[in-house]
Amino acid sequence: MARKNDSRIAPRVAHGRRRVNAGGVRFGVTVIATALAVALVSGTSVAAVAVWDVASSAKKSIKLVNQPDVIPQIGEIEGGVNLLLVGSDSREGQDPNVFDEFDGAVLNDVNMILHIAADHKSATVVSIPRDLVVPIADCPDGGGGWQGPINASLNDGGLACVVLTVEQLTGLSIPYAAVVQFGGVIGLADAVGGVDVCVSESINDDYTQTYLEAGNHSLSGIAALQFLRTRHGVGDGSDLSRISNQQVFLSALVRKLKSEGTLTNPVTLYNLAKAAVSNLTPSDSLNNLDTMVSIAMALRTIPLDRVVFVQYPASTGGEGIYLGKVQPKQEAADELFAALLADQPIALSGETGAGSIKSGTIATDPVPTSVPRVTGTSTVTPTPTPVAVLPEPVVLSGQVLGQNAGEVTCSKGNN
């Protein structure tokens, strides 16, 4: 039973002008990049140094209530994966010359579940709104056991409490999790040489200092963090709009990572790994490079249109102390998680969300070039890789918003 203790609702952190606040890239692609970097760099003569340097950047891990005891061998991880990435607004360990001091409650303002299907032919990323009112689980180290915005669960009981709360909300078992800090956003965007985003209407947000005219922009560094953080500058100014704006960036990032050349450059991969691990506090179950590599290998061949980003179905509303907070759309949420629990690929029939709009462009997966090799006096043409047969996706109702990585979308400013 939830305790009626209204005073325990975590305070909101006010946005201040000139403040660089929590970024929203908190997606398992940082883990993918880390794993691929280690896997590919290990084929070079600097393998030992590179792997040691990346591993030594890692922070102390966190024990979850339900986590596997066996570390997978190098190679694609067997079966499906559920991994939770939590974006913290803590400034701990961050560059004081870039990020202001912070002395409030440590909130999990971004919560993203990465679900990889057991056949490794589809992946779904579910963004849970920070203000979604849910029952907070009883935390392993105390705290919890009440109802309020989900972003209070990290402050109440740490990462393990967030995981239990999300498991309780979704019905999914989540054995892997990590908390991601601000610097990872900047490092990731810089490592890939910037992320190209489309803006359909200008964004002007004094709170995050985000000012972008309509058109195409390559974002890196602080500009990428500001773009991901902006809420007042997109859609209706809500956190739901921010999620769809974040998905514009995330889908573009996935396309950049899958483009030819990005993930075959050892320097790029090393920088991705370094940026991710340096700003990541993993669960014990994820605190192993072999585990990261095995998860990455399960994701490497998934087509763009089978990488789907969705918002947890919800709307603003509520009554009393929850007025203006985000409430679940239970029927649509049940539909979404029934598909994921059944390990079915999904397709969306609804809109992208209030903070973005479809551009009408569909991206295609890069086709590896086959270069004939000469052996003695004869030329050997490589055998083409067979095309995978993909299962038919479950088409969800229009109440479930989002996009797939193959759909090019544009941010919808409100100015």
In the three-class reduction of DSSP (H, G, I as helix; E, B as strand; rest coil), residue 187 is classed as helix
CATH code: domain 17-366+390-412 is: 3.40.630.190
Whole-number Å distance between alpha carbons of 90 and 361: 37
Whole-number Å distance between alpha carbons of 78 and 47: 26
pLDDT at residue 10, as a whole number: 35
pLDDT at residue 53, as a whole number: 59
First vs last Cα of the chain: how many Å apart? 44
pLDDT at residue 195, as a whole number: 92
Tokens of 136: 């907070």
Segments of the chain with pLDDT less than 50: 1-50, 52, 91, 94, 96-103, 369-375
186: amino acid identity, one letter: I
Of 195, 182, 187, nearest in space to 271 by CA? 187
289 φψ region: left (φ > 0), alpha (ψ -120 to 50), beta (else): alpha
Cβ density class 257-275: b for 16+ within 10 Å, e for less: bbeeebbebbebbbbbbbb
Asked if 54 and 279 touch (Cβ cutoff 8 Å), the reply is: no
Phi and psi at residue 129, to the nearest 5°: -55, 140
Whole-number Å distance between alpha carbons of 43 and 399: 46
Model pTM?
A: 0.80
